[in-house]
Homo-oligomer: A and B are copies of this chain.
Amino acid sequence: MASAPEARGLLDDVAVLDSLVITHDTIVEGVHFLPFDPPASVGWKLVAVNLSDLAAKGASPTGALLSLTISGDGAWEERFLSGVEAACESYTLPLIGGDTVSLPAGAPRVLGMTAIGRAGAHTPERAGGRAGDALWVVGTLGDSAAGLDQLRADAKAASVLVDIYRRPIPQLGAGELIAPHAHAMMDVSDGLLLDAQRMAEASGCVAEIDFDALPLSDGFIESRGGDLEARMYAATAGDDYALLAALPPELDPATLSLPQGTTIARIGRLLAGAPRIAVVSGGFPVELPERLGFEHKSDQHRPLSDPPMADRP
């Protein structure tokens, strides 16, 4: 199923129809968010995870449809909607429709959003990366997961990392500017290693990642340090809202007038060879962990996810 050309072989997070880029994400209480998460934050993140998919394709937000379940008296949902609205207003994403349904008593909430963006001059796929391309990450890695860990240790924790966990920022501006030049681009949401592996597989290349070049925020380094363990955490914890782009090696994204404050780091390259990832640090290979990223099991917690349908069991 789902083998229509518009589906891009399901190797992508989005579908493209005419000049529109369309993506859908669903989040489940107890799987992608937890009862202690503020509902407004859950709403914000549902929008952000969709916008991150659009950003990765260089699309500009055009409209969204919300699938809202109502459980109990609707008080949680009112606060959830305030977060959806805040994100939609922040990123000029009009809410243009959807569906609202009641849940049986006690059922976990399941919330979905279809976001639609207008494609730019070029809509990069996951596939399309070429041996010799430079790999760049837009945004920093691990902040949101580290913020969640702070909250687990202290439910009242307040920090820059907690703020990012609660209100992550999709890289829309940078995505639009980089997409026309990208051979491949996708959002990093499940962990850099897992997502880079997906790009390597889709593009038929080896993705070599230099851990010394990982973009880590000051807040992250202050909280978890910058050693190899911290970098492995940042590259595998997931819940990022960053972009991974395969660019021609001669392109310097600094010349693209990215939005002020954008963090962008050259973290590796694509090489010819059977698809896999390879990590190096200090010039030496780093052994890969068993778990490359967040794999969407219902007994794990990962705040938001974006598995392609092909991942279904």
- Identify the A interface with B (CB < 8 A): 1-2, 4, 6-7, 10, 12-15, 17-20, 22-32, 62-63, 65-70, 74, 77, 81, 84-85, 88, 94-105, 107-108, 110, 112, 114, 116, 296-298, 305-309, 311-313
Contacts and interface: CB of A to CB of B under 8 A. Distances in A.
A17 to B, nearest CB: 6
In the A-B complex, the 4 residue pairs with the smallest Cβ-Cβ separation, listed nearest first, are A4-B94, A102-B298, A110-B110, A15-B96
21 contacts: A4-B63, A4-B96, A13-B97, A14-B97, A15-B63, A17-B63, A18-B18, A22-B116, A24-B97, A24-B99, A24-B114, A27-B101, A28-B103, A28-B104, A31-B101, A68-B312, A77-B312, A97-B309, A101-B305, A102-B298, A104-B298
Given A32-B101, A103-B298, A298-B105, A4 B309 contact: no
A6 B98 CA distance: 12
Nearest to A19: B18
A290 B96 CA distance: 31
A7 B94 CA distance: 9
Given A17-B20, A20-B20, A98-B309, 4 more contacts: A23-B65, A27-B101, A103-B298, A104-B298
Contacts of A311: 100
Contact of A62 (B17, B65, B298, B313): B17
Contacts of A306: 99
A247 to B, nearest CB: 25
B19 A112 contact: no
A79 to B, nearest CB: 13
A31 B96 contact: no
Contacts of A1: 81, 84-85, 88, 95
Among A2, A31, A62, the most chain B Cβ lie within 10 Å of the Cβ of A2
